[in-house]
Amino acid sequence: MSPTPLAQLNDNYVRLRGASLPFTTPVIRFARARLGPESVREFVVPGLVGSRGDYMIPWTYLPELAQLTVHDRLLWEALCFTRGPLFPPDARRIAREVAASGVLGIVRAEAVRREHQSETVLRHFVHAALLSRLLAETAPEAAAELSRGAHARFRQDVVQAGLIAAAPHLGLAPAELFDRLGEVAVSVAGIGTGSRGDADDRLRHLHARLGAFAEAMHRFALEEPIETAGSVVALLQIADATHERLGALIRAVDEDLSDMRRLTSSAEARAALGLRTAEADWVADGWDTILEQWGLAEGGPRLAQRELVALLAQVTPPLPGVDLQRGTARGALAGQAAKDLLGEVDIDRVARVARRAGRVVAA
C-alpha cells in the first residue's frame, strides 16, 4: 500500500531536516531531531565551528557531545521515552512539559501552564468561528446569534441551535457536524481562521516576522562588502523561500476555509487541508529561535550582526525540493561566528564522538 500524501510529507521532513528542539546549551542550540538510516532517531547539529556540513549524532550520544544544562538533560531524557519520528507538535508538547516542571524558573513554568490552559479556550473560539462561517453559507439568520459577542460562543444552547440549523443543509446529524468542525479546528490550529481578533494565529504572525526579516537581510546585503556578502545572500535566499512557501500555504488554507460547506461534507477536502497545515507547521519549525536571535542582535554592533548572519546561514533548516545554497556561507567568518555565538567547542570531543558514532553530511 502506497503512503498517504500526509505520511509522505511527514516522512520527507522527518528524514531531511527533523523537528527543532528548544535546547539551551549553546553548542546544540539549533539542533534538530530526525530519523536517520534504518529509521533510528538522530540529532542534526549544524554550524559547529563553521563546518562545511551538519554533524549527525545518534540519539544516545548527545550527552557526550557537550555538557548539557539541567533543562537540556531533562528534555533529552523525556525524549528518550518516545520512539519513532518526532513531529513539531510533539516536540512542542514535550518541551512544554519540561518547562512546566520549573527547570527554567517559576515565571516560565507559570507562563507555560497558562498557555496550556488557554489552548482549550482558543480551540473553542476557532470551532465557533468555523460554525459561524458555515452558518453564513447555509443559514445566515442563525449566524447572527452566534456572532453577537464572544460570550455567545460559549453558550451551549446557541451553539446547539447553530448546529441544528446547519446540519440539514449538509445531510448530517448535529453531532456529526460538530465532530467534523472539530476536525477542521484541530487542522488549522496555529494558523487560525484569519478573522480579526483570531487568537490562534501563531503561524500568521511568524509569516509576517519572516517577511520583515527577509527585508532586513536584503538591506543588510546591500551594505555588505563583497567578501562577506555570501552569508547574507545565503540567509536571504533561505528566508525568502521559506516566507514564500509559508505564505502560499496560509493562502491555500484561507481558500479552503472560504468554502465551509465543502470542507464539512468532503473527507478529501479535510485531508487536503490537514496536509497543508501540517506542511506549514514543518516549514515554520525552528524559525522562532532564528528570529529571536536576530532580534537580540538587530540593534547591536555591525560586527556582531555579521557574525550572527554567518552562523544563521549555516543552521537554518532546509526546505525539501528547494536548492538553498548554505554552502556559500563558509570560511573564517563562519568559524569565528560559531566560536563567538555557540561558545567554545571542544573540537577533540566533537571529533571523538563523530568518529565513534556520528557522521558529517555536506550542507
3-state secondary structure of 56: strand
The whole-number pLDDT of residue 285 equals 93
| Side-chain-side CA neighbours of residue 158 (13 Å) | 18
The whole-number pLDDT of residue 139 equals 77
Highest mean predicted confidence (pLDDT) among 65-74, 126-135, 227-236, 245-254: 245-254
Mean pLDDT confidence for 217-226: 82
3-state secondary structure of 45: strand
Mean pLDDT confidence for 306-317: 85
User: By mean pLDDT, which of 57-61, 89-93, 278-282 is the weakest?
Assistant: 57-61
The whole-number pLDDT of residue 283 equals 93
The whole-number pLDDT of residue 331 equals 41
| 167-176 confidence digits (pLDDT tens) | 888 888 988 9
Query: 231 falls in which pLDDT band (50, 70, 90)?
Result: confident
Spatial CB neighbours of 200, under 8 Å, sequence gap ≥ 6: 122, 123, 125, 126, 188, 189, 190, 191, 192
pLDDT exceeds cutoff 70 at 194: yes
How far, in Å, CA of 91 to CA of 60, rounded? Answer: 17
User: By mean pLDDT, which of 47-51, 56-60, 332-336 is the weakest?
Assistant: 332-336
Q: What's the full length of the chain, in residues?
A: 363
Mean pLDDT confidence for 72-92: 87
DSSP 329: S
pLDDT exceeds cutoff 70 at 227: no
Task: List Cα–Cα distances, 75 to 45, 96, 100, in angstroms.
Answer: 16, 10, 12
Task: List Cα–Cα distances, 265 to 61, 130, 134, 195, 254, in angstroms.
Answer: 49, 14, 11, 22, 17
The whole-number pLDDT of residue 272 equals 92
pLDDT, greater one: 274 or 132: 274
| 109-153 confidence digits (pLDDT tens) | 787 777 776 676 677 778 778 888 888 888 777 666 666 654 545
